[in-house]
Structure 1
Amino acid sequence: MPLCRLHRGIFNEQPERRWNKQLSKNFELKQEKVALMTEKVKNAKAMLVVSYKGITVEEITALRAKCRENGVEYVVYKNNLMLRALDNLGVHDLDHLLVGPCAYVFSDSDAVAPAKVLSEHIAQAKNDKIIIKAGLVEGTYMDAQAVDALAKLPSRDVLVSKIMGSLNAPITNFVGVLSATLRSLVYAVDAVRKQKAGE
């Protein structure tokens, strides 16, 4: 067999097969990643979309550390994969925002935590490179202004303690009134007893 035919046979057929296998493997990996992202968005109490154009590695590292301290996760995904994950859930409110460098901030336990952590970090670092675009909180779309308002709310623990305090106040007042009434009754009975004892 001439060398040119052998050459053509080896290098024309095999790379095609290798290329197809590689494409199918990449496609499978992307499908798996989209499935994981879909579950992550579905199970999250809150997910915020953040623009981070022009931010340094040190700044991102500091932000990720602050997120971890507060039980929040800062992740960067490819926008087209996130679009597919959101499409799997029937969510299309964020489609127009997934342009340019985007990061995603997740919390599985506290719906307010991502907004608070990001707002505090932006204020402390005086960094205008990190921009909160929008988010999904408890499955509801929130624009940047709504997320900012959410960040200004007290934490869940503070809200619960305020509610418990307001529920406890009427009971405390009622107990005080009952005690005063009983005290008055005891004084009246004691006064009547003394008066009868004096006669």
Structure 2
Amino acid sequence: MNKNRQIKEAKIAEIKEKMQKSEGIVLAHYQGLTVEEDTELRKNLREAGVEYKVYKNTLSILAAKELGYDGITNLLEGPVSIAFGYEDPTAPARVLNDFAKDHKKLELVGAIVQGEIFDAAKTKEFASIPPKDVLIAKLLGSLKAPLSNLVYLLNAIKGKKESEEV
């Protein structure tokens, strides 16, 4: 086996591993970004715990097909970058979409979220979902509110009965 083939097979294995570990994967066209813009984007993604890579489309397609993601073949056309979110499935979409609002050269192409393939429109919808910790905080807040109201009500009843006894 020649050296070039070994390198390609190693890259395919790397891409497959990243795809398997990822909760959310977002594909984006990045052509036209300046070096400064790309550096800023990579910094924002890193801060959000997202890994950002550019691979050859043919290698990405081969890795995706081996994992059963045949539907992303049409999304991997032209210069495409891949953002891998390992903990929060919406983080790559959220960061890339926020960046794309100010930098029109960046365009979301599609996503794979927990094994399902989505187009650009659905990917933008995922971008509007808050981070996991924010969703948990909202849930806890909504669970806490009725309990707080019950405690307030019981204290008010107790206070009223105590004032009537005096």
The two structures share one fold, judged by TM-score above 0.5: yes
Structure 1 counterpart of 2:120, from 137, 140, 144: 144
Between 52-61 and 62-71, the greater mean CA deviation after superposition: 52-61
Q: CA deviation at 1:84?
A: 0.9
Residues 124-163 of structure 1 correspond to what in structure 2 (within 5 A)? 124=102, 127-163=103-139
Q: CA deviation at 1:121?
A: 1.2
**1:106 equivalent in alignment to 2:103:** no
CA deviation map 1:69-102 (0-9, x unaligned): 2211210000010011101111111111111111
* Amino acid corresponding to residue 122 of structure 1 in structure 2: A
Structure 1 counterpart of 2:47, from 69, 72, 75: 69
**1:119 equivalent in alignment to 2:97:** yes
Q: Which has the higher contact order (CA 8 A, sep 6+)?
A: 2
Q: CA deviation at 1:154?
A: 2.4
Q: What does residue 42 of structure 1 align with?
A: 20
Q: CA deviation at 1:63?
A: 1.4
**1:184 equivalent in alignment to 2:160:** yes
TM-score by length of 1: 0.78
Runs (4+) of structure 1 exceeding 6 A deviation are none
Select the structure that is richer in helix: 1
Q: Aligned-residue CA RMSD in angstroms? A: 1.5
> Where in structure 1 are there 5+ consecutive unaligned residues?
1-22, 191-199
Q: What does residue 68 of structure 2 align with?
A: 90
Q: CA deviation at 1:40?
A: 0.4
* Amino acid corresponding to residue 49 of structure 1 in structure 2: L
* Amino acid corresponding to residue 71 of structure 1 in structure 2: G
SS in 2 for 1:154: coil
Measure the CA separation in 2 of the matches of 1:176 and 1:68. 44
> Where in structure 2 are there 5+ consecutive unaligned residues?
none
CA deviation map 1:9-51 (0-9, x unaligned): xxxxxxxxxxxxxx62211221121111101001101111111
* Amino acid corresponding to residue 91 of structure 2 in structure 1: A
TM-score by length of 2: 0.92
Measure the CA separation in 1 of the matches of 2:159 and 2:87. 49
* Amino acid corresponding to residue 51 of structure 2 in structure 1: E
**1:53 equivalent in alignment to 2:3:** no
Identity level (%): 37
Q: What does residue 197 of structure 1 align with?
A: none
8 Å CA contact 2:69, 2:117 repeated in 1: no
Q: CA deviation at 1:59?
A: 2.3
SS in 2 for 1:55: coil
Larger radius of gyration: 1
Q: CA deviation at 1:141?
A: 1.4
8 Å CA contact 2:29, 2:81 repeated in 1: yes
